[in-house]
Structure formats: C-alpha cells, structure tokens
Amino acid sequence: MTAATGRPAVPSGGSGRGVDATASTGGSSLGAPSDERARALAAALVAALRSGDEARFARGFTAGPMAALGARLWRNWRAMPVADIVAAGPELEVRWASPGEAVPAGERLAVLVASDGAIGALRGKGVTPLWLGDEVTFTPGVRGGTLASTRVPRDVVAGWSSAADRAARHVSARLDAPGWDGALSLVLPADAAAMARATGRPLEEAAGTAATTVASSSGPPRIVVNVTSVRPDARAGLLAHEGVHVATRSAGSPAPLWAVEGLAESVGTELDRAQSARNAELVRRRVSRGVPAALPTPEELAAPGVDGETAYALAEVAVEALIARDGRAATLAWIAEPTRRPEPRDPLGAYRAALG
C-alpha cells in the first residue's frame, strides 16, 4: 500500500534519460531522413490521416514489424485527437490536444527511413509515448481528456476521467493560474513497466510512483498515472495535486520544491479526506520528536515510503502557514512566479510557529 498513498517524488522534466528503442525493422540500410524528407513524411502521414486513406498511410512504413507498428499507429492516431504531425529537424513531432486545450502537446520521435523514404524505425526521446507501444483509447473530458491503454479496464478509465474533471474544476477554483487553459490531460499505462516507459523512469521508481507530470516537447504537460496503485477515492485528490503542477508549470520552476509540493499537496488533500487525515497524523508523529529545524529539503521530498510522505505533509504545513500569515493571493503569486515576486519573509519561522 505504500504506492497507494505515496505522492510522486519530484515533478519530472521527462527528458535526459536516454532513448528507449521501441521498434525497428530488420532491413539493412536505414538512416536519419534529411529535414526535407522528414517534412514530406510528416505531411504524407497527416494527409493520409485526414483523408482516411489507410493504404497511403501504410505505405509510409517498411514491411515486417514496422508494418504492424504502422497499423497500430493508424488505429491510435485515428482514435486520438491528433492536431498535427510536423517535422522537427530529422524528427517527427505528434501534436494532440484534448477538448478545451488551447495548445496541443507535442511528443517527439526519432525516425530512421529506408532508401525509398518509408519509416524503418521509430523511437521515443527519453520517454516513449503510450500510443507508440500500446493500443490506446481516448476519452474526452469536460476540459481535458484521458488517453488510456486498451489493457486498462473501461470502468477504471471512466473513473479516472470523471476524477480528472473534478480535479480540473477544483484546481481552477483554488488557483488563479495565468497561462493555464483549465484542462488536464491524463495518460493511463496499464502496468508499472508501461508506466516506466511513459515517464522515462527506472522500473522500480515508476512502480512506487502514484502519478507524475511529464513535460511535453511542446505545449502542456501530461499527467501519467499508475492505475494499479491508487484507491478509487484517492483519484481526484491525486489529480488535483498533479493539476497544480500542470497549472503552475512546476517542472523547471525556480520556486523551492517545498513550496511547489506543499501547494500541490494543500490543494490535492482538499479532495481526499483520508490523505488529509494521514498527513495530519504524519505531521503529529514527526513533531512528537521535536519541531524540525529546517524546511523540507528536496532529498527528504524524494525519499521513498513514509519519510517522503512525511516530507510532503510537512511541506503542506509550510505553505498553509504562509497562506495564513500573508494571504492566499500573495503566497500563490510568489509560488507561481518566484522570480518576479518578493520572497515571503522568514518562511521557516512561519512553518515552525505552525508546527509548534
């Protein structure tokens, strides 16, 4: 049950992890396409998708295993709200947008082509998009949507989809986040191995993560959920936590991690009474050994198991102490734009006073 209650360690940039080879042909002479050829390839794939020309689409792939991958991509990209496929140098970027999303999210693939220009290999860049390795379905939400492996049971997908709508409404009501369109898009891999591929994390770490926000190559981040590890009544709170990261673009934020995670935890636990009670208990247990001398560190927040959970609970206290002292608007504005707003005075003092 550790993974069920554990919060994600750190918002992931989702890059720089090395490339997962996903599919390649047995064919001999493959090479990276010229920029011009990549542009032509992207245009041909988009034209085939838009006109419903499956045969033309299939001609974009070499024979053998790549033909099977081409057939899967045809089904997946027709099922998903694909907005465009563009070339980015020799790479392809697939852009998809859920209902209500102002900008599509782009996911990059490295591509190798045969001498006739057909695709002979495709692989993700650091993270492997779910639709590259799995058959997927797409469930539109009110604002946002859920991309799920077909191996995830339908009732589970429906549960997450409605939790996402609830979380998006809650985060919109609790945060004034300039630049966020109010939409949350989820990605649901079927198991820990697929979660590891979709987040670019080692298997063990992915298995212990309930959900994480993964940056796209362009556009908004996606929330990747470990469906095997979260109890149904914890879904909306978990997604509200991740939704704060999406709304404030936490990945790469210069704000201190305790502030980023404390705000997400504060907004998320409002939808999850059990988590809220557990956090209060973790704080009580920690304070019974003395009031901490410092704010939660990134190392403490990344710790596995109950230590990491306690650090999240303490970060929540730290942010709520600032909100109580300085007001919600000022505290949120600083966390969202720490370089443009004055730093709060003595956050450690406010935190220790709240704990004492």
Q: Which residues bind Zn ion (CB under 5 A)?
A: 261, 264
Largest interatomic CA distance in the chain: 71
**Quick one: 76 or 253, whose CB is closer to Zn ion?**
253
Phi, then psi, of 110 in degrees rounded to 5: -80, 140
Q: What is the DSSP string of 100-165?
A: T-SSPEEEEEEEEE-TTS-EEEEEEBSB--HHHHS-EEEEE-SSEEEEEETTS-HHHHHHHHHHHH
Sort strands 184-188 and 21-24 into parallel, antiparallel or unpaired.
unpaired
In the complex, the smallest distance separating the C-beta of residue 46 from Zn ion, rounded to whole angstroms, is 35
Residue closer to Zn ion by CB (options 105, 223) is 223
Is 156 within 8 Å of 146 (Cβ atoms)?
A: no
Two tokens, residue 41: 């390839």
Which residue, 38 or 295, has its beta carbon nearer to Zn ion?
295
Decide whether 262 or 292 has the Cβ nearer to Zn ion.
262
Whose Cβ is closer to Zn ion: residue 187's or residue 264's? 264
What is residue 234's DSSP assignment?
Answer: G
Residue 301, helix vs strand vs coil = helix
Q: Which residue is nearest to Zn ion (CB)?
A: 264
Shortest Cβ 224–Zn ion spacing (Å) = 13
Closest distance to Zn ion from the beta carbon of 306 (Å):
17
C-beta of 38 vs 225, nearer to Zn ion: 225
The structure tokens 């295993």 sit at 65
Angle at 62 between CA 60 and CA 67, to 5 degrees: 85
Residue 244 CB, nearest approach to Zn ion (Å): 8
In the block, residue with structure tokens 């909100």: 323
Closest CA to 316 of 265, 243, 273: 265
